[in-house]
Structures are given as C-alpha cells and as structure tokens.
Chains A and B, each alone.
Chain A
Amino acid sequence: DIQMTQSPSSLSATVGDRVTITCRASQGISNYLSWFQQKPGRAPKLLIYSASTLQTGVPPRFSASGSGTDFTLTISRVQPEDFATYYCQQTYNSPLTFGPGTKVDIK
C-alpha cells in the first residue's frame, strides 16, 4: 500500500495568514493526488484534484502543487470558514489511501 504522511499534524493561524500543508507519498504517484477539507460532522469536501486543479466553486485562495512524492496545499489568506481538517489522498494505486490529516485552528 502507498502510505501518505502530512505535516504538520496541526497548526494555529490568524485570519489573513498564509498557510501551507505538505503531503508526502511513500512512492511516486505522478499527479494522482487530491486535497479535501473536512469540518466536524460533515463529509470531506474536494478542494483540489490532479495535484493542482481547483475544483469548481472552490475559492482561488486555495492552491496546490507537486508531483511524484511531494505535494503542498496553500491557503493564501486564511478565512474564518477555512478552519477545518485537511486530508490528502492518493488515487494512483489501489488501495486508495488518505493522509492522517492536518487540523487548522484559530490562533
């Protein structure tokens, strides 16, 4: 199985901060990488697919990059509604696997 790791596991930010989350795959996954945002009691919401493509309707303050094994998600100016847990997911090989998540909370 491809193992996904994320760092940091949690971070505190102030509204307006730039936030960066990293995700690493245990082997190369090309660009088969998605990013999800999850709020308590809600289903994960797709933000980014194919490593860097913004899903329709997602604000442009979200961006992402990477290929192979190393990926990043950036929120350019974090807003109050962005405080949530973020997961990366590889869809390169079965079984599809998720990272452990990064919780972004208010400083």
Chain B
Amino acid sequence: QVQLQESGPGLVKPSQTLSLTCTVSGGSISSGDFYWTWIRQPAGKRPEWVGRVTISGLTDYNPSLKSRVTISIDTSRNQFSLKMNSVTAADTAVYYCARVARSNTYYYFDYWGQGTLATVSS
C-alpha cells in the first residue's frame, strides 16, 4: 500500500520561501508510470492544483503560481519537494502531495498524503 507523508515548517513569514517535502513509502517513487503532484486547499475552498513532476524531473505548473513554484524529485530518497517563494497570506492553505496514475487513456490522483497546514504570518 503506497503512503505519502508531507513534512515541513507549519509557519512561514511573508516574503519568505515555503518548503515542503513528500516522502513516499510502500513502493519506489521510480517504479511504474506515475507522476507526483502537489495540491493546496485554503480553508473552506476548493482544492487548487499546484504542479507535478515526473520521475525524470520534468515539471508542469499551474500558471497562476508558476513564477514562484519549483517542484523537484529525489528518487534516491523516495521524496519529492515543493518550494514556493515570496509567499503571502493568500498562500496559507493545507498542502497535499499525491500520486498521479496516468496512461494514454486515463489520468487521476489515486493516493494522497494526509496534508500539512502551512500558515503565512509574521
């Protein structure tokens, strides 16, 4: 059973960088035809897709965040990471990592982490 666990500071000051890591267990991050993705959800709002990374390190980002976001993967540690710079209070949200199952005919988020609350405040 694949499990994902987010980790990182729960409190970030405005204008600084939010850094989160997702650790994958129960399977190799490099095996299978999967992508790895970040999603965030402000309190009381719908989820927002942040971006994704392939096992070869190719990325795709939400254009609304692209200038501030970097997603990377470390296959040796079975982890992938999110960095978001120049954060403001609007970036306060629960951040989830998830696995993307994909092929020519399907694309869906099947396993999710439990989420971690990142609060931007001085």
Contact = CB atoms under 8 A, between A and B. Distances in A.
Interface of A: 1, 32, 34, 42-46, 49-50, 53, 55, 87, 89, 91, 94-101
B110 A98 contact: no
Given A43-B96, A43-B113, A94-B60, A49 B46 contact: no
Interface string B36-49: 00000000001111
Contacts of A101: 46
Contacts, number: 51
A46 B109 contact: yes
Task: From B49, B96, B101, name the one whose CB has the most chain A CB atoms within 10 angstroms.
Answer: B49
Sorted nearest first, the 7 A-B pairs with minimum C-beta distance are A49-B108, A91-B107, A43-B112, A96-B49, A95-B62, A98-B46, A98-B47
Interface in B75-122: 96, 101, 105-110, 112-115
B107 A43 contact: no
B108 A34 contact: yes
B64 interface: yes
B63 interface: yes
17 contacts: A32-B106, A32-B107, A34-B108, A43-B96, A43-B114, A44-B96, A44-B109, A44-B112, A46-B109, A50-B108, A53-B106, A55-B110, A89-B109, A91-B109, A97-B49, A98-B48, A99-B46
B63 A46 contact: no
A1 B49 CA distance: 12
Nearest to A4: B46
A46 B108 contact: yes
B46 A50 contact: no
Contacts of B109: 34, 44, 46, 89, 91
A97 B39 CA distance: 10
Contacts of B106: 32, 49-50, 53
